[in-house]
Each structure stands twice: as structure tokens, then as C-alpha cells.
């Protein structure tokens, strides 16, 4: 009789055949088979003619790996925050089970042992969409502990949805960082044949091992092939696709490096910070801070602006080159726009209101159109800046936490590489 974990061939009543691993089913009316693609397929039992066992699940107890510290290799702390990158499938439950210990990590990715010495521990098992300022502070404090332990670098496993928020946040918090902090995620879970977990993690390890980089960065697939990963500037990167393995792209700049995960690192832009024996200082977020994020859209209402009257700051994601907002009354059908303008004027007199563009690439220029000039007149900030909306949100929150009286001045200062010195026409998504 077949059991969960067995490799089976299912012959359906129409004589079609399905091969895969038999999984736990939550329904008594169906069998679940994990296909070679990694997807699970539920098959109604009434449509099954026969199930043949091709290979029984081996229950042999694995011998525990013993880790030996190797001379000449850098020591890297792997801090886990959840996500699918360091996990494996449990065939009896169908769940993807986290694996956080150094032994488990090396068992899953044995190549790492030849590149770095691994320390590994769980910080928070949390989905990235649930993270907030408190988690950024928690991560920063754990990074500080590892720095005091004299590790040579840190890898943070992280869910991909908000990884670019976290990379920006850590860049601002970690002043005088003197080791690499590399965030790594996985777009495809480890039980799928198309998983990117292995190559992303190994590439992050190789990058730390072979460079003197000392900033925060993200390491993810360069393209759909399993050959290279890119090292992205922490404040100039964005997730641009829901599911592709090459979902992360730089904005207005080039990546720092390309990692050929099997053998070498290719530097693409050497203007990153290098090790200089700096002393780390933490500039944490104020955790009870309220910073809003509002996207401009047709048929916008003044009440939407009014909702942020009790907030500490607001990022407005407007249209086009100037981050334009619907604030011009041009006829009787646009009377609401005048009310939006008045609400923005009142709000900007109380809290910092920062404009960014929905176009993502390029620079805000409020001097070109009358709408942008009017936005400046009422106190909206952001002119001539090229921050991504996510980095702008993080920077505003960080400035309100650490430099509340200098927000307007410091927004235009390039503190962590969040602003481009010069924009090139070639710096655009391909």
C-alpha cells in the first residue's frame, strides 16, 4: 500500500498517467501528488484506476553533519527571518519546513561549506509582508551582536515581498557598517524544480568571501538562467515582478556586481564602501511613528488627504515627471481638486509631505509644469530627487526618527546611496 513520500504512478480512469510523490491530502476524496515541477496536483479518487509504487520513501535516519571551521575561510552569520529560501518539504504533511541550524543549512546547500564558515540562527519566523519598524530595529540589534563577535559578513534570509524596504531600512540604521550585510530571498520554494534558493544563497556567500564590500545589499537572480546573480544597491532596487526569479531590478543605477555562482565575482561598479575598520553605530527607527503612503489616482478626494492629519509624515506617489497631483480646478467638474489642494496645503504646514513618481525611473522635477510649481508653493517636498517610492518612505520615516528638525534639509542629501549623482539614459529596465 502506498504512503506519503512514495514515488508513484497514478493511472486515471481515462488511462492517462501521472508520476510524482504522494503527499498528504486534507480531503478524504482525493489523492495529492507532487509533480516534478514542484506543483501539487489533487486527483479525485473516483477518477483513479490504479496507483503503482515506483519507489518507497526511505526512512533511514540521516547521520548528523559535523561542521568543522576551516582556516582561510571567512566566517559568515546567516540570520533567518522566514521565507522559503532555507526550507524543505515534509512529505507527510505537505508543508515546507524551515531549516535554520548550521548543520541543516549545509545539508541543504553543501557547496557553502567550501566557500565560508557558517554560523546560522533564527531571528524571527515572519512573512515579509508583516514586517514593520520594530523588526528593522530587531534585525539591526542582531547584526550588531554579530559584528561584536567579529564575523566577516552577514547573510539575512528574507521574504521577497518587502525585502527592498528592509535593505533600505538597514542601510539607514547601520551607520559606519564595516562588513557586508546581504539580504537573500527565493521567488520559488525549495520543493520546486525551478527554485532559486540554492543559487541565490551560494552567490551571496561567494560575494562575501571574495570581496571587501561593506554595505547592505540584496543578492538575487540576474535572469531566468541558473548561472548568475546580481548584487543590488540597497536603496536603489525594487521588486518588479510577482513571480519571476529575476524579479529584482536596479532603479537609475547599475548593480554593484555579478556573481557567477560556481566560481567568481565580476565587479560592475566599484564605488561601494570598502572595509576601513569603522565602528558601527545604530540609528534606530521610532517604532510608534506614523508615516503614510498615498497613491494619486483619478477621481481622488480631499477626504483621502484629510485622513493623514494625525500622521507624522506622508509620501505622495504622484504622476509623471513632477509627481503631479490632481490639484487644479479647471472647470465645474474639477471642483474637488481645489479642496485637495487646500487639504494638502494644511497638511504640508504641519508635517513633511514628500512627492515621488509612479513612473519609478527618472527624477522628480517640479519646475517644469505649473502643477509642480504649485506643489512646491504649498510646501510639498521632493523636487529634483530620484528616490524609489519605497526608499523615500523609509528615508522619511528614518529622518523623522533621528533628525526630526532637519527633514527638509536632509531629504536632498545623499546619505546611503539613495540619490543618484547622475542619471544615464541607459539606466532603465530591460
Mean pLDDT of the chain: 90
pLDDT value at position 187? 85
Look at residue 428 and tell me whether its pLDDT is greater than 90.
Answer: no
Residue 53 near residue 10, CB atoms below 8 Å: no
Q: What is the pLDDT of residues 225-247, one digit of tens each?
A: 999 999 999 999 999 999 899 99
Q: Report if residue 69 sits inside a domain.
A: no
Containing structural domain, residue 46: 7-55
> Looking at 85-89, 158-162, 418-422, which range is the least confident one?
85-89
Looking at the structure, tell me whether residues 118 and 232 fall in a common domain. yes
pLDDT value at position 231? 98
Q: Report if residue 430 sits inside a domain.
A: no
> Looking at 183-197, 305-319, 350-364, 391-405, which range is the least confident one?
183-197
pLDDT value at position 417? 96
Q: Report if residue 64 sits inside a domain.
A: no
Looking at the structure, tell me whether residues 367 and 235 fall in a common domain. no
Q: Report if residue 211 sits inside a domain.
A: yes
Looking at the structure, tell me whether residues 375 and 347 fall in a common domain. yes
Report the 3 state secondary structure along the chain: CCCCCCEEEEEECCCCEEEEEEECCCCCCEEEEECCCCCEEEEEHHHEEEEEEEECCCCCCCCCCCCCCCCCCCEEEEEECCCCCCEEECCCCCCEEECCCHHHHHHHCHHHHHCCEEEEEECCCCCHHHCCHHHHHHHHHHHHHHHHCCCCEEEEECCCCCHHHHHHHHHHHEECCCCCEEEECCCCCCCCCCCCHHHHHHHHHHHHHHCCECCEEEEEECCCCCCEEEEEECCCEEECCCCCCCCEEECCCCCCEEEECCCEEEECCCCCCECCCCCCEECCCCCCCCEEEEECCCCCCHHHHHCCCCCCEEEEEEECCCCECCCCCCCHHHHHHHHHHHHHHHHHCCCCEEEEECCCCCCCCCCCCHHHHHHHHCCCECCCCCCCHHHHHHHHHHHHHHCCCCHHHHHCCCCCCCCCCCCCCCCCCC
pLDDT band at 141 (very low <50, low <70, confident <90, very high): very high
| Structural domain ending residue among the three candidates 262, 282, 302 | 282
How much is the average pLDDT of 122-132?
89
Looking at the structure, tell me whether residues 136 and 247 fall in a common domain. yes
Q: Report if residue 419 sits inside a domain.
A: no
Which residues are part of the catalytic machinery? 84, 160-161, 239
Who wins on pLDDT, 5 or 368?
Answer: 368
| Structural domain ending residue among the three candidates 255, 282, 309 | 282
Look at residue 402 and tell me whether its pLDDT is greater than 60.
Answer: yes
Q: Report if residue 373 sits inside a domain.
A: yes
pLDDT band at 65 (very low <50, low <70, confident <90, very high): low
Look at residue 191 and tell me whether its pLDDT is greater than 60.
Answer: no
Determine what percent of the chain is predicted with pLDDT higher than 70. 90
Determine what percent of the chain is predicted with pLDDT higher than 90. 70
Q: Report if residue 424 sits inside a domain.
A: no
> Looking at 8-17, 75-84, 97-106, 131-140, which range is the least confident one?
97-106
Q: What is the pLDDT of residues 80-110, one digit of tens each?
A: 987 666 556 655 555 555 556 767 777 778 8
Looking at the structure, tell me whether residues 20 and 157 fall in a common domain. no
Looking at the structure, tell me whether residues 302 and 272 fall in a common domain. no
pLDDT value at position 114? 93
Q: What is the pLDDT of residues 327-364, one digit of tens each?
A: 999 999 999 999 999 999 999 999 999 999 999 999 99
pLDDT band at 193 (very low <50, low <70, confident <90, very high): low
Q: What is the pLDDT of residues 198-218, one digit of tens each?
A: 899 999 999 999 999 999 999
Look at residue 8 and tell me whether its pLDDT is greater than 70.
Answer: yes
pLDDT band at 29 (very low <50, low <70, confident <90, very high): confident
pLDDT value at position 278? 95
pLDDT value at position 79? 93
- CATH number for the domain including 50? 2.30.30.100
Looking at the structure, tell me whether residues 350 and 386 fall in a common domain. yes
Looking at the structure, tell me whether residues 254 and 349 fall in a common domain. no
Looking at the structure, tell me whether residues 222 and 363 fall in a common domain. no
- CATH number for the domain including 219? 3.40.50.1170
pLDDT value at position 290? 98
The tally of domains found in the chain comes to 3
pLDDT value at position 56? 85
Looking at the structure, tell me whether residues 49 and 98 fall in a common domain. no
Look at residue 318 and tell me whether its pLDDT is greater than 80.
Answer: yes
pLDDT value at position 126? 85
pLDDT band at 197 (very low <50, low <70, confident <90, very high): confident
Look at residue 146 and tell me whether its pLDDT is greater than 60.
Answer: yes
Looking at the structure, tell me whether residues 39 and 147 fall in a common domain. no
| Structural domain ending residue among the three candidates 216, 247, 282 | 282
pLDDT value at position 69? 85
Looking at the structure, tell me whether residues 220 and 195 fall in a common domain. yes
Amino acid at each position: 500500500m502506498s504512503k506519503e513520500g512514495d514515488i508513484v504512478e497514478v493511472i486515471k480512469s481515462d488511462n492517462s498517467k501521472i508520476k510524482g510523490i504522494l503527499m498528504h491530502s486534507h480531503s478524504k476524496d482525493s489523492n495529492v501528488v507532487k509533480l516534478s515541477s514542484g506543483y501539487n496536483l489533487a486527483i479525485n479518487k473516483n477518477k483513479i484506476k490504479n496507483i503503482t509504487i515506483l519507489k518507497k520513501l526511505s526512512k533511514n535516519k540521516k547521520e548528523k553533519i559535523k561542521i568543522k571551521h576551516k582556516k582561510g575561510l571567512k566566517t559568515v552569520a546567516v540570520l533567518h527571518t522566514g521565507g522559503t529560501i532555507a526550507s524543505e518539504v515534509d512529505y507527510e504533511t505537505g508543508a515546507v519546513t524551515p531549516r535554520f541550524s548550521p548543520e541543516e543549512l549545509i545539508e541543504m546547500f553543501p557547496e557553502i561549506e567550501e566557500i565560508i564558515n557558517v554560523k546560522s540562527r533564527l531571528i524571527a519566523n515572519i512573512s515579509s509582508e508583516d514586517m514593520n519598524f520594530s523588526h528593522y530595529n530587531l534585525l539591526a540589534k542582531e547584526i550588531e551582536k554579530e559584528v561584536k563577535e567579529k564575523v566577516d559578513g552577514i547573510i539575512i534570509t528574507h521574504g521577497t515581498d518587502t525585502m527592498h524596504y528592509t535593505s533600505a531600512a538597514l542601510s539607514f540604521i547601520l551607520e559606519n557598517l564595516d562588513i557586508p550585510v546581504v539580504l537573500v530571498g527565493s521567488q520559488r520554494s525549495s520543493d520546486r524544480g525551478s527554485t532559486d534558493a540554492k543559487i541565490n544563497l551560494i552567490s551571496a556567500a561567494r560575494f562575501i568571501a571574495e570581496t571587501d564590500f561593506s554595505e547592505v545589499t540584496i543578492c538575487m537572480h540576474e535572469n531566468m538562467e541558473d548561472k548568475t546573480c546580481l548584487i543590488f544597491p540597497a536603496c536603489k532596487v525594487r521588486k518588479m515582478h510577482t513571480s519571476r526569479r529575476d524579479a529584482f531590478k536596479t532603479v537609475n543605477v547599475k548593480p554593484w556586481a555579478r556573481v557567477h555562482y560556481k566560481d567568481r565575482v565580476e565587479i560592475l561598479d566599484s564605488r561601494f564602501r570598502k572595509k576601513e575598520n569603522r565602528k558601527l553605530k545604530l540609528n534606530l527607527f521610532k517604532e510608534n511613528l506614523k508615516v503614510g503612503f498615498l497613491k494619486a489616482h483619478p477621481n481622488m478626494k480631499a477626504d483621502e488627504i484629510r485622513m493623514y492629519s494625525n500622521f507624522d509624515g506622508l509620501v505622495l506617489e504622484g504622476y509623471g515627471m513632477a509627481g503631479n497631483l490632481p490639484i487644479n480646478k479647471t472647470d465645474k467638474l474639477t471642483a474637488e481638486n481645489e479642496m485637495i489642494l487646500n487639504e494638502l496645503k494644511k497638511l504640508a504646514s504641519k508635517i513633511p509631505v514628500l512627492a515621488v513618481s509612479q513612473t519609478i525611473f527618472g527624477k522628480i522635477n517640479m519646475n517644469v509644469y505649473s502643477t509642480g510649481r504649485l506643489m512646491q508653493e504649498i510646501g510639498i517636498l521632493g523636487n529634483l530627487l530620484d528616490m524609489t517610492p519605497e526608499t523615500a518612505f523609509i528615508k522619511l520615516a528614518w529622518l523623522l526618527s533621528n533628525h526630526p528638525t532637519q527633514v527638509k534639509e536632509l531629504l536632498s542629501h545623499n546619505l546611503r546611496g539613495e540619490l543618484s549623482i547622475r542619471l544615464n539614459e541607459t539606466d532603465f529596465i530591460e
